[in-house]
Structure 1
Amino acid sequence: VSGLRACHPAGPNMSPWPESNWTTPPEFVILGFSGWPQGLRLLLFTFLLPLYLATLAGNLLILGLAVVDPALHTPMYFFLGALSTVEVAYTLVLTPRMLAGFLLSPGGQAVARSTCAAQMGLFVALGGSECLLLAAMALDRYLAICRPLYYPQLMTTGLCWCLLASCCVGGSILALGLTTAIFQLPFCQAGLVNHVFCDLPAVLVLACGDRQLQEQVLLAACLLLLVLPLALILLSYTRVLVVILGVGGPAGRRKAFNTVASHLTVAVLHYGCATAMYARPLSSRSLEEDKLVSLIYVSLTPLLYPAIYTLRNRDVQGALQRVVGGRTPGTVHQADVN
């Protein structure tokens, strides 16, 4: 690490190093919080490890309930189980290595170039799939509430699988394009990634030469994965809320409103944090601030998703009671009524 020099570009898109000095480092060093005292890093590890375990447990619980309870074999819980699967994979890609860095690597974690590229690609693929999946969930709620008579014919099992496959393929194609575009650049005499993982802006800022195309591709990806899906979600749920307030009894309106509120809360958390992290040019970024925001984004928001769905959703609560109590979905108990 001591033999590496950081690259500080002179302009927003260019490096001051002459082209003859450009190198391709054989490995990158993820700095994380290596500059912090060991006691603070240990405290951070102690705080984040229970969050990580709770995130895995919560999302695996939702996935398990969506699979084993026949009452949850509906399109909404199909997508909810898929979302939990993405969250589990997402945290497995990022969090274990990040936690190990707090304990084992006071000077930063050295990772191979291929490992850094793979982590970036998986992170973008899973995050992009989640962005599109939330939009698919909004479409499902729109059809269920605004087109209830046609909903069984429209939202079939085949369509659910097609939407899920489209979300995964779309996220994967975008991840492959972004990762390839960034790692085809030459890098300065530095592999010091000032982040907790190989995030796109933190690696792109190390690139030498003209990186304007890569920045434009990144901003275009933000438009496709963040702005457009969020706009569709807000439009869909605006229409849903209008329908809820106009028809149905108090009990039905309350249940539908709770479902919409849960989905909107997740959407605001996800798209809000992601927009704050990525929808900005490199010239206006502070990597130290990005590092702290991403720590919250990676560690806290995946835990909030299962908490929001399980605490606000009586169907999931009832499924959990049935599984724990060994009851069948058709058995009605006072706990299910309340």
Structure 2
Amino acid sequence: MKPENQTSSSGFILLGLLVDDKISGIVFAIILSIFVVALTANVVMIFLIQVDSRLHTPMYFLLSQLSVMDTLFICTTVPKLLIDMISEEKTISFVGCGIQIFLYLTMIGSEFFLLGLMAYDRYVAVCNPLRYPVLMNRRMCLLLAAGSWFGGSLDGFLLTPITMNVPYCGSRTINHFFCEIPAVLKLACADTTLYETLMYICCVLMLLIPISIISTSYSLILLTVHRMRSADGRKKAFTTCSSHLTVVSIFYGAAFYTYVLPRSYHTPEKDKVVSAFYTIVTPMLNPLIYSLRNKDVMGALKKVLFKCSPTQKLTASAA
């Protein structure tokens, strides 16, 4: 007899991020602060790239797309987490869980592809600077951005319906702070080995494609930098690429643990910590890494702040 999916009407219960409620107030304040900083930093980054003509370049266009993804990414999980931390009921509906899974998969998949394509942009900038305006024209930038969004949404459209159609007839309690697929599948009352294998292959491919682009791009960049005679040229090339490599290392490292390492390396506590890192902390770090180490972005920010300052407004009104 086929087991009935009881959770389609009752939904799930999220255990949350913490087991010890004694420090929940401190953790709530920290997560809320990170959330506010992440939203502010990403929105400011998008705004600066739009209003400052010096930032109307392919690199900053792709960076604005990364900020959009980070904003949506952190809004997919953190608001629900914060509400659950101050609420007695920590439930999420069956439909709500499916929406969260879809948005989460779409955002993380889109970032995978975008970070890989940003490496290609750095390769063209360093290895073919004279052809950069031609190879990275507006049409190419739009294609790269659209390809990233399409690749991420494809992952969401593929895995979400399968996950939500698995029969869940036992416990409703998810030992996590959001509906992440591995945690949800632990509640299934059917054999999910085949699906988990297919998901594993899918996630490996999602990582291998952009990692291959990144590895190839930076190998060619290193060869080009090695041949440079100018010390200033080498320094500029490393500065151009260092921010991107930092973001890639943080994001892909956490994703590799979650989706590639075998189950024997996982525990619910470790999974929560790693998931919290790349769903909460990474969206805050990305714009800070790119802005604090970038003279153009800092210059655009100072320019906007100067225009909005009371002194400047008084000067303008007097004139």
Give the aligned partner of residue 5 of structure 2. Answer: 23
* Aligned residue among 15, 18, 32 for 2:16: 32
The AA in structure 1 aligned to 2:127 is C
Give the aligned partner of residue 80 of structure 2. Answer: 97
Are residues 1:177 and 2:161 paired?
no
1:47-196 equivalences under 5 Å are 47-105=30-88, 109-196=90-177
Q: Please give the alpha-carbon distance, in whole angstroms, between the structure 2 residues aligned to 1:293 and 1:169.
A: 26
Give the aligned partner of residue 292 of structure 1. Answer: 273
Q: Please give the alpha-carbon distance, in whole angstroms, between the structure 2 residues aligned to 1:184 and 1:104.
A: 29
Q: Please give the alpha-carbon distance, in whole angstroms, between the structure 1 residues aligned to 2:129 and 2:183.
A: 46
Q: Please give the alpha-carbon distance, in whole angstroms, between the structure 1 residues aligned to 2:305 and 2:226.
A: 36
* Bigger shift: residues 157-166 or 291-300: 291-300
Q: TM-score, normalised by structure 2?
A: 0.91
The AA in structure 1 aligned to 2:36 is L
Q: Please give the alpha-carbon distance, in whole angstroms, between the structure 2 residues aligned to 1:186 and 1:227.
A: 31
Contact 1:58 1:306 in 2 (8 A): yes
Sort the Cα spacing of 1:21 and 1:155 in 2 relative to 1 into closer, same or farther, 3 A.
closer
How far has the Cα of 1:118 moved from its partner? 0.3
Aligned length: 306
The AA in structure 2 aligned to 1:46 is A
How far has the Cα of 1:210 moved from its partner? 2.1
**Other structure's SS at 1:150 match:** helix
Q: Please give the alpha-carbon distance, in whole angstroms, between the structure 2 residues aligned to 1:143 and 1:311.
A: 24
Contact 1:59 1:85 in 2 (8 A): yes
Give the aligned partner of residue 208 of structure 2. Answer: 227
Per-residue deviation, residues 193-241 of structure 1 (Å, max 9, x unmatched)? 1101000101111112121222122212221222331232122112112
Gaps of 5+ in 2: 309-319
Q: Please give the alpha-carbon distance, in whole angstroms, between the structure 1 residues aligned to 2:140 and 2:24.
A: 47
Q: Please give the alpha-carbon distance, in whole angstroms, between the structure 2 residues aligned to 1:151 and 1:34.
A: 49
Q: Percent identity between the aligned chains?
A: 37
Q: Please give the alpha-carbon distance, in whole angstroms, between the structure 1 residues aligned to 2:72 and 2:217.
A: 28
Q: Please give the alpha-carbon distance, in whole angstroms, between the structure 2 residues aligned to 1:193 and 1:249.
A: 57
The structure carrying a bigger helix percent of its residues is 2
Q: Please give the alpha-carbon distance, in whole angstroms, between the structure 2 residues aligned to 1:219 and 1:177.
A: 13
* Aligned residue among 288, 298, 303 for 1:317: 298
**Other structure's SS at 1:196 match:** coil
1:233-272 equivalences under 5 Å are 233-247=214-228, 249-272=230-253
Gaps of 5+ in 1: 1-18, 328-338
Contact 1:195 1:291 in 2 (8 A): yes
Give the aligned partner of residue 274 of structure 1. Answer: 255
How far has the Cα of 1:21 moved from its partner? 5.1
Q: Please give the alpha-carbon distance, in whole angstroms, between the structure 1 residues aligned to 2:225 and 2:54.
A: 23
How far has the Cα of 1:57 moved from its partner? 0.9
Q: Please give the alpha-carbon distance, in whole angstroms, between the structure 1 residues aligned to 2:3 and 2:197.
A: 26
Contact 1:131 1:225 in 2 (8 A): yes
The AA in structure 2 aligned to 1:287 is P
The AA in structure 2 aligned to 1:258 is T
CA RMSD of aligned residues (A): 1.8
Sort the Cα spacing of 1:220 and 1:21 in 2 relative to 1 into closer, same or farther, 3 A.
closer
Give the aligned partner of residue 202 of structure 1. Answer: 183
The AA in structure 2 aligned to 1:323 is V
**Other structure's SS at 2:130 match:** coil
How far has the Cα of 1:248 moved from its partner? 5.7
How far has the Cα of 1:325 moved from its partner? 2.4
* Bigger shift: residues 172-181 or 220-229: 220-229
Are residues 1:45 and 2:28 paired?
yes
Q: Please give the alpha-carbon distance, in whole angstroms, between the structure 1 residues aligned to 2:294 and 2:39.
A: 19
Sort the Cα spacing of 1:33 and 1:319 in 2 relative to 1 into closer, same or farther, 3 A.
closer
Sort the Cα spacing of 1:325 and 1:94 in 2 relative to 1 into closer, same or farther, 3 A.
same
How far has the Cα of 1:185 moved from its partner? 1.0
How far has the Cα of 1:109 moved from its partner? 1.3
Contact 1:219 1:280 in 2 (8 A): no
The AA in structure 1 aligned to 2:152 is G
How far has the Cα of 1:242 moved from its partner? 2.2
How far has the Cα of 1:41 moved from its partner? 1.1
Q: TM-score, normalised by structure 1?
A: 0.86
Give the aligned partner of residue 333 of structure 1. Answer: none
* Bigger shift: residues 139-148 or 118-127: 139-148
**Other structure's SS at 2:220 match:** helix
